[in-house]
Structure 1
Amino acid sequence: MRFNSALLAAAAAAGTALAQRPTNTSICDYYTMALLKENNATNQYTLLTLLVNTAIIGNYTQPNVGVSVPGILNPNGMYNNTKVNLVPYFDGGLASTNEGGSMGVAKNFLDGGGAAPLMKNMPADDMTSNQYKLLTHLYEFFGSLLGCSEVGMTGFAAYSGDASMYEVHKFMVLDPFQMGYFIEQVALSAASFGVATSDIEAVGQALGSLFNYRCSPKTTVIKAQGPQYQSICTDQSCPLADNAVCDAQPAMDQPLVANATLADGEGRNATGSATMSGGATGTATGTATMSGSASGTTSGKSSATATFNAASHAAPGLTGMFATLVAFLAL
């Protein structure tokens, strides 16, 4: 997937000075060193926490180089002039998880404090919650995808979740607009921390090739797990992969409404419509949500500038940009 010109322009404005990443250094290792001074497992995990949490709830750290991140859980998302609301897939509003055998079941993934712990650079406030499991798996999965060299070491556990992203998401029946919005939020999150345009586009293309083609053959993401079905875009409107293996990935019924009343296009509704052309303007009811982007500073916490020598440890163009980052890491 290639991002639209507006997104790339925003990324370029934020990260042109970081376009000189050595080809023999992974994206994770390079930006860990650039932003957090020392490339170790703890800092790599922190970097992935910042990137993922921002992609999910929107901007919550300062500074963020002026790139606005609406967030995956913004109920009023827009992608290519199409409304997108992914909240019902997270708050139990749809029977869309893969834990019910031959059919999807509803599950609340916002049961660990919602947005509040994410704004403190945490996955959840309850380590037994669905939210904690989901967020930590996201940190680990993206850590491997971005080439974090310390994954599996003390401070950054290796990914231990389901091997097949297709199996995890098959009952969601996601379409290109929903997938495009999700990946765009990941890209905007990276841009908000000054990641270079070339690196953002490389990650976007990797995510697109892995997840956005219906009936894709098996491919390896996590080396220890070997080749797996990874396609997440499974709606009939998703582009068909080369060498498609649709017989091995049967079409799924669209998830039924579970604990919420959904407006047209809000996730999927129970009518079984083949396309998703609109999004809801309201949020699902009945369960907690993390709707909307977090505001610039963490509520109730000091935003005082911490001592951080960005000039010495960050790439050109990052000087002063992360002067308050350590204050947030200490929350």
Structure 2
Amino acid sequence: MRLQIPTLLTLLTTAVPLTLAQSRPNDTTICDFYTTALLKDNTAANQLKLLTLIVNTVVIGNYTTPNVGIAVPGILAPGKFNGTEVNLAPFFDGALFSTNDGKSEGSAVNFLDGGGAKPLMENKAADDDKKDSRQYNLLTHLYEFFGSLLGCSQQGMDDYPAYNGVASMYEVHKFMNLDAFQIGYFIQQVALSAASFGVAKEDLEVVGAALDKLFNKRCSPATVVIPSAGPQLESMCIASSCPLDPMAACGLYDKEGTGTPPKVANASLAGNTSSTASASATGTASATASKPTTTTPTGGAAVERVGSFAAVAGAVLLAFAL
């Protein structure tokens, strides 16, 4: 089964009302262009702010206004990808033995220990007094990892640190046994989040293709994402149903294609964590979102919250960095 990511992004962006008057020059990175377009000054602080807005929206759905009217359910919301039910939240609320803590098997880790959704709605990674939390570590690493992926030229300055987490996304995710539907749903939420801020269809396709190539192929050879780390194994889709990379190097992946899901640590939290197929992985995508339920001012800006995430407290993402 092969996910048609460019087709997915075309479907997602057909009706996107563009907010930017000019297209991105080829010699300008996506990060630099949209930082300038949306926040005016292309500083390290503004680049970090842009990535914070995008990543936090991926996690909890739409929470800022203005946006261009694209509904983002967020990675916490159970949804569907290509007619297949997906629920990613239990991977990171302590429900499963799925986190790689450097042991020979997964650990059950709660990534909701930094204040949940509330600080994310305030454009933070965690509450100010919880900067030693798993949540803070996870979210800040996400801001940094995506900054490198999108070419933020000012990253590495005091206001926007370089990524210093684990560089191999395979090592981070190896005990999750993620499949093509789960990775596809994650990529979909990234695309929707970026689209909600007016990122052009062409740039969404660039980002989607990069994520698909890096993470959604089984047994991909080592590649460079973090320059200082050199080539690393980046495949996150390791279930036997994942599409095999044309240049497959399966011998490098000790957990490749095992088909063994993580064991349940907390049955009351776990729910249904497997992807329940009701359609082929090839085709159109579907994601559901409830209507905005609250609108409150935070930090001088109106904040919209899409969906009901109180039950899972907010700050879980398909973790890129531990």
The letter of the residue matching 1:109 is: F
Q: 1:207 to 1:187 in 2, by over 3 A?
A: same
Q: Could you tell me how far apart the structure 2 residues matched to 1:276 and 1:302 are?
A: 42
| TM-score of the pair, normalised by structure 1 | 0.80
The alignment status of 1:83 with 2:81, answered yes or no, reads no
Q: Could you tell me how far apart the structure 1 residues matched to 2:64 and 2:294 are?
A: 6
Task: Please state how far the C-alpha of 1:243 moved relative to its aligned partner.
Answer: 2.2
Q: Which runs of no fewer than 5 residues in structure 2 stay unpaired?
A: 279-288, 304-322
The alignment status of 1:136 with 2:140, answered yes or no, reads yes
Q: Is the 8 A contact 2:296 2:302 kept in 1?
A: no
Partner of 1:267: 273
Q: Could you tell me how far apart the structure 2 residues matched to 1:300 and 1:33 are?
A: 23
User: Where in structure 2 are the equivalents of 1:223-238 lying within 5 Å?
Assistant: 223-238=227-242
Task: Please state how far the C-alpha of 1:223 moved relative to its aligned partner.
Answer: 0.3
Partner of 1:199: 203
Q: 1:62 to 1:217 in 2, by over 3 A?
A: same
Q: 1:136 to 1:18 in 2, by over 3 A?
A: farther
Q: Secondary structure at the match of 1:208?
A: helix
Task: Please state how far the C-alpha of 1:6 moved relative to its aligned partner.
Answer: 2.9
Q: Could you tell me how far apart the structure 2 residues matched to 1:83 and 1:96 are?
A: 19
Partner of 1:116: 118
Count residues in correspondence: 283
Partner of 1:281: none
User: Where in structure 2 are the equivalents of 1:8-19 lying within 5 Å?
Assistant: 8-10=13-15, 13-15=16-18, 17=20
| TM-score of the pair, normalised by structure 2 | 0.82
Partner of 1:57: 60
TM-align CA RMSD = 2.2
Q: Secondary structure at the match of 1:14?
A: coil
The structure with higher relative contact order (CA 8 Å, sep 6+) is 2
Q: Secondary structure at the match of 2:17?
A: helix
User: Where in structure 2 are the equivalents of 1:90-101 lying within 5 Å?
Assistant: 90-101=92-103
Q: Is the 8 A contact 1:173 1:255 kept in 2?
A: yes
Aligned partner (choices 3, 7, 18) of residue 12 of structure 2: 7
Q: 1:232 to 1:267 in 2, by over 3 A?
A: same
The letter of the residue matching 1:256 is: K
Partner of 1:71: 74
Q: Which runs of no fewer than 5 residues in structure 1 stay unpaired?
A: 269-274, 279-290, 306-331
Identity of aligned pairs, percent? 58
Partner of 1:285: none
Task: Please state how far the C-alpha of 1:298 moved relative to its aligned partner.
Answer: 3.9
